């Protein structure tokens, strides 16, 4: 296998489960040094450490805390820079969702989701860019979702947060391109992990009925695309949205 990320120093937020873990494992297999973050589940963090070590031989750096906590984000990035000597890649993957109609959606629900799904991307991007700009290189990948396209009914606050990432990606790509830093958005369809697990069966069926390939994505398929997008093999793409949804 071509090692797309040999020697790259990577941070993946929300990296202990689902797509986040799949990306950490793929990045490690491609030769990257991996740091990951998580919020609450210590058992999943230990499982992730073992899975990544089994894939690449080295344990990742693991940091517990909220992506919406500015002080935690700053200290995490500082610790990664101290350990690795810098940061080449940031994947903003951490996100939450709730399957709620607007009539049951409390203001606190909206605020919590926006803090994690949008503010967290801003905080981590700002923190790593201070190092990437000095190095005049780097790659940021924001993980979006098909829900922003309204392919099937989805919670309004989740769809709004993922739509916001599109504008953030485009604006940030224009701002930091002069430093040879690329910013892109990967928008997967429903996968065998993550959001699909919380959807009612009729919603999954609605998606599969519309998907030409007729199945959910495997996490490793999305992770391999993510590895390519942040690699030097993808050196002239920035501000782009890459859709990986089986043909929807």
Per-residue tens of pLDDT for the chain, all 248 residues: 689 999 999 999 999 999 999 999 999 999 999 999 999 999 999 999 999 999 887 889 999 999 999 999 999 999 999 999 999 999 999 999 888 889 999 999 999 999 999 999 999 999 999 999 999 999 999 999 876 565 566 788 988 999 999 999 999 999 999 999 999 999 998 888 866 666 667 777 877 888 888 888 899 999 999 999 999 999 999 999 999 888 87
| 207 classed as catalytic | no
Q: CB under 8 Å to 22, separation ≥6 — which residues?
A: 193, 219, 220, 222, 223
Query: For the chain, what is the domain count?
Result: 1
Label the pairing between strands 33-38 and 9-12.
parallel
pLDDT at res. 80: 98
- Candidates 142, 32, 35; CA nearest to 78 is 35
Report yes or no on 4 lying in a domain: no
pLDDT at res. 100: 83
pTM: predicted TM-score of the whole model, two decimal places: 0.94
CATH of the domain at 240: 3.40.50.720
pLDDT at res. 191: 83
Report yes or no on 45 lying in a domain: yes
Pairs from 47-52 (Cβ < 8 Å, separation ≥ 24): 47/16, 48/15, 48/16, 48/17, 48/21, 48/24, 51/21, 51/24, 51/25, 52/21, 52/24, 52/25, 52/28
Report yes or no on 120 lying in a domain: yes
* Residues of the domain holding 204: 9-244
Report yes or no on 20 lying in a domain: yes
Report yes or no on 2 lying in a domain: no
pLDDT at res. 156: 87
**DSSP string over 48-62:** HHHHHHHHHSSPPEE
Q: What share of the chain is helix, strand, coil (3-state, %, to 5)?
A: 55, 15, 30
Report yes or no on 184 lying in a domain: yes
pLDDT at res. 198: 64
- Which spans in 9-155 are helix H? 18-29, 42-56, 70-84, 107-114, 120-135
Catalytic residue, chosen from 38, 158, 179, 207, is: 158
């Amino acid at each position: 296998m071509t090692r797309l990320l040999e020697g790259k120093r990577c941070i993946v937020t929300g990296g202990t489960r689902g797509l986040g873990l799949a990306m950490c494992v793929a990045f490690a297999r491609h030769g990257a040094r991996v740091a990951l973050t998580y919020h609450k589940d210590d058992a999943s963090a230990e499982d992730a450490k073992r899975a990544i070590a089994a894939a690449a031989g080295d344990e990742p750096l693991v940091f517990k805390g909220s992506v919406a906590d500015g002080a935690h984000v700053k200290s995490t990035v500082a610790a990664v820079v101290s350990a690795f000597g810098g940061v080449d890649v940031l994947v903003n993957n951490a996100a939450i969702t709730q399957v709620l109609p607007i009539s049951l959606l409390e203001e606190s629900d909206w605020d919590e989701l926006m803090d994690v799904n949008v503010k967290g991307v801003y905080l981590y991007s700002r923190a790593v860019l201070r190092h990437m700009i000095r190095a005049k290189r780097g790659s940021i990948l924001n993980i979006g979702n098909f829900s922003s396209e309204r392919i099937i009914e989805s919670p309004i606050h989740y769809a709004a947060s993922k739509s916001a990432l599109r504008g953030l990606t485009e604006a940030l790509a224009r701002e930091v391109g002069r430093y040879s830093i690329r910013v892109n958005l990967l928008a997967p369809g429903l996968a065998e992990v993550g959001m699909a697990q919380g959807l009612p069966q009729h919603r999954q069926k609605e998606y599969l009925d519309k998907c030409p390939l007729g199945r959910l994505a495997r996490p490793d398929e999305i992770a391999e695309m993510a590895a390519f997008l942040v690699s030097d093999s993808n050196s002239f793409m920035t501000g782009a949205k890459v859709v990986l949804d089986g043909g929807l």
